[in-house]
């Protein structure tokens, strides 16, 4: 080969650019049709976040696509208008999140088990034209989603939903008859919210009902409205013993409880095996109060209760290491729920520690201490990866602050051991307080 025929030698190696693979939400964004520009913005913000949760908690690629399409088909059309900066364009203040956009997310951690992602929405309706239907009580949106979901998952059962809709829900017609029930009084207007546990191949649908609006219409205690509705269930006999213990205890501490935090929830499956959950909220607690709630004032006992209480007390010490006495009140609002399962005489407690004003760094530190105490090193690594991802969204998320940790809940069972859930979501105002209502029912006797 002559010198003239030699190929030129490049002065520098060719630069090969490797693009990171597209995430499922991005592929779907380029593929799926959206009915409006608002839906595209909802998708960009929510679907990308959901994808991060699913990927970081170990869901397969196929499962990520399945659950993103679930969100696209059933939840996205019902999210309603994008909130503006003044927050005056939303149809109602949300039950699932009175302090921000109508959504919340959580990860469940258990020892030796895969992590589970869950999401909660308070659907606002499918389009601006929904206002023409006068659906001022959110009567249609949750039901619409459940009926659509049932078409692809036949084991979704609406028996209990229909029951509580009759007993606790205020219909559009009732709201009209009673005038503006919530004007200047309620911290939220909606009465139902919908949650889904995302499993690898399916979902578990859950619904939560607030009795607050019904209680004002009936001029009755919201706790009484809730318990009376539960006692009318066809399957109430299966939880009668546990329900009596819980109702008696809540009656004894009723003056301490926050009306807006009284509500119930249940699984939308066969009522013979469905779980029923009863929630309360209690502010300014001390460790003695925590022990009282966990044991229902000594009404539930046993090794399972004691082991769970030990873990809750440990959590308390991580949060308040300088607390000097067990009766020292802390500026903490705790939500509690008790799970009632068929033929179990004891309600199973769960304690929710809230972090509305504390930083994510503080809450993450507490959670890391708890996971280290339990020896959950793999869960600690997952949590740290997830928090790093969420920090990129903290500055502005629908005119809100996205908090990586809003609450941490603790439960315990003899079968599965510790059960820790970490909640996150957008919050508009961390210093928001519930309005005072002129009607107070906290002195009511709930004995049924």
CA distance 408 to 232: 32
Q: Is the pLDDT of residue 319 over 60?
A: yes
Identify the pLDDT of residue 9. Answer: 47
CB < 8 Å & 24+ apart, contacts of 128-132: 128/81, 130/80, 130/91, 131/91
Is 313:351 a contact under the CB 8 Å cutoff? no
Identify the pLDDT of residue 129. Answer: 44
Give the range among 97-106, 132-141, 263-272 with minimum mean pLDDT.
Answer: 132-141
CA distance 26 to 56: 16
Q: Which helix (H) or strand (E) holds 391?
A: helix 377-391
Q: Is the pLDDT of residue 258 over 50?
A: yes
Q: Assess if residue 322 is contained within a domain.
A: yes
Q: Assess if residue 448 is contained within a domain.
A: no
Q: Is 208 annotated as a binding residue?
A: yes
- pLDDT confidence tier of residue 432, bands split at 50, 70 and 90: very low
Q: Return the SS3 of 166.
A: helix
CA distance 226 to 345: 20
Mean pLDDT of 267-277: 93
Q: Is the pLDDT of residue 402 over 90?
A: no
Identify the pLDDT of residue 74. Answer: 94
Nearest to 348 by CA among 311, 282, 293: 293
Higher pLDDT residue, 67 or 14? Answer: 67
CA distance 222 to 278: 12
92-123 pLDDT per residue, tens = 677 777 766 788 999 999 998 999 999 999 88
- pLDDT confidence tier of residue 289, bands split at 50, 70 and 90: very high
- pLDDT confidence tier of residue 188, bands split at 50, 70 and 90: confident
Q: Which residues of 206-241 are buried (b: 16+ CB within 10 A; e: fewer)?
A: bbbbbbbbbbbbbebbbbbbbbbbbeebebeebbee
Mean pLDDT of 347-372: 95
Identify the pLDDT of residue 101. Answer: 77
Identify the pLDDT of residue 138. Answer: 59
Higher pLDDT residue, 2 or 234? Answer: 234
* pTM of the shown model: 0.89
Q: Is 403 annotated as a binding residue?
A: no
Q: Is 277 annotated as a binding residue?
A: yes
Q: CB under 8 Å to 436, separation ≥6 — which residues?
A: none
Tell me what percent of the residues of the chain surpass a pLDDT of 70. Answer: 81
Q: Is 104 annotated as a binding residue?
A: yes
Q: Give me the chain's average pLDDT, please.
A: 86
CB < 8 Å & 24+ apart, contacts of 405-408: 405/355, 405/360, 405/363, 405/364, 405/367, 406/104, 406/354, 406/355, 406/356, 407/335, 407/352, 407/353, 407/354, 407/355, 408/315, 408/352, 408/353, 408/355, 408/363, 408/366, 408/367, 408/370
Nearest to 370 by CA among 423, 331, 408, 332: 408
CA distance 177 to 218: 12
Q: Is the pLDDT of residue 299 over 90?
A: yes
Q: Is 59 annotated as a binding residue?
A: no
CA distance 274 to 234: 13
Highest mean pLDDT among 149-153, 312-316, 385-389 belongs to 312-316
Higher pLDDT residue, 279 or 443? Answer: 279
Q: Is the pLDDT of residue 280 over 70?
A: yes
Q: Assess if residue 447 is contained within a domain.
A: no
Q: Assess if residue 109 is contained within a domain.
A: yes
Give me the DSSP letters along 90-105.
Answer: SSS--SS-TTSSSEEE
Residue 341's domain comprises 24-427
> Could you tell me how far CA 358 lies from the centroid of its own chain?
19
60-101 pLDDT per residue, tens = 999 999 999 999 999 999 888 887 776 667 766 777 777 667
**How many domains are contained in the chain?**
1
Is 347:244 a contact under the CB 8 Å cutoff? no
Tell me what percent of the residues of the chain surpass a pLDDT of 90. Answer: 63
Q: Is 320 annotated as a binding residue?
A: no
CA distance 247 to 225: 12
Q: CB under 8 Å to 162, separation ≥6 — which residues?
A: none
Q: Assess if residue 2 is contained within a domain.
A: no
Q: Return the SS3 of 239.
A: helix
Q: Assess if residue 432 is contained within a domain.
A: no
Q: Assess if residue 1 is contained within a domain.
A: no
Identify the pLDDT of residue 79. Answer: 86
CB-facing half-sphere around the CA of 224: CA atoms within 13 A: 15
Identify the pLDDT of residue 400. Answer: 73
Q: Is 30 annotated as a binding residue?
A: no
Identify the pLDDT of residue 441. Answer: 52
Q: Assess if residue 62 is contained within a domain.
A: yes
Q: Is 306 annotated as a binding residue?
A: no
Q: Is the pLDDT of residue 344 over 80?
A: yes
Token match 């809750």: residue? 312
Token match 């009318």: residue? 232
């Amino acid at each position: 080969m002559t010198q003239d025929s030699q190929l030129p030698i490049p002065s520098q190696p060719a630069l090969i650019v490797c693009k990171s693979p597209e995430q499922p939400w991005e592929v779907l964004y380029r593929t799926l049709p959206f009915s409006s520009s608002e839906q595209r913005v909802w998708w960009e913000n929510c679907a990308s976040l959901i994808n991060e949760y699913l990927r970081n908690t170990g869901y397969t690629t196929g499962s990520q696509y399945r659950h993103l399409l679930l969100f696209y088909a059933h939840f996205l059309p019902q999210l309603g208008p994008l909130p503006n900066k003044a927050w005056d364009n939303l149809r109602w203040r949300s039950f699932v999140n009175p302090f921000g956009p109508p959504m919340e997310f959580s990860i469940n951690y258990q020892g030796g088990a895969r992590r589970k992602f869950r999401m909660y929405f308070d659907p606002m309706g499918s389009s601006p034209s929904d206002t023409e239907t006068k659906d001022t009580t959110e009567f249609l949106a949750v039901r619409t989603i459940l009926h659509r979901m049932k078409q692809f998952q036949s084991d979704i059962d609406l028996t209990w939903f229909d029951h509580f809709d009759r007993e606790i829900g205020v219909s559009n017609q009732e709201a009209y008859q009673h005038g503006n029930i919530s004007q200047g009084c309620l911290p939220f207007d909606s009465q139902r919210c919908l949650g889904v546990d995302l499993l690898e191949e399916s979902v578990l649908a859950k619904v939560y009902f607030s009795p607050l609006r019904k209680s004002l219409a009936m001029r009755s205690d919201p706790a009484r409205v809730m318990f009376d509705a539960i006692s009318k269930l066809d399957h109430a006999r299966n939880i009668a013993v546990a329900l009596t213990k819980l109702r008696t205890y809540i009656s004894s501490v009723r003056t301490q409880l926050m009306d807006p935090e009284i509500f119930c929830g249940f699984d939308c499956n066969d009522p013979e095996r469905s779980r029923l959950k009863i929630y309360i909220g209690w502010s300014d607690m001390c460790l003695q109060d925590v022990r009282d709630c966990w044991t229902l004032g000594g009404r539930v006992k046993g090794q399972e209760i004691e082991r769970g209480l030990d873990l809750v007390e440990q959590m308390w010490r991580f949060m308040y290491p300088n607390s000097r006495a067990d009766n020292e009140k802390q500026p903490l609002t705790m939500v509690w729920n008790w799970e009632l399962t068929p033929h179990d005489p004891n309600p199973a407690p769960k304690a929710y520690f809230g972090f509305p004003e504390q930083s994510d760094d503080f809450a993450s530190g507490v959670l890391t201490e708890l996971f280290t105490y339990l020896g959950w090193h793999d869960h600690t690594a997952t949590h740290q990866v997830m928090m790093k991802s969420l920090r990129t969204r903290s500055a502005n998320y629908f005119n809100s602050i996205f908090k990586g940790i809003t609450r941490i809940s603790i439960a315990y069972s003899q079968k599965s051991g510790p059960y820790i859930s970490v909640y996150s979501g957008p919050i508009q105002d961390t210093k928001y307080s519930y309005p005072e209502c002129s009607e107070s029912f906290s002195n009511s006797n709930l004995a049924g």
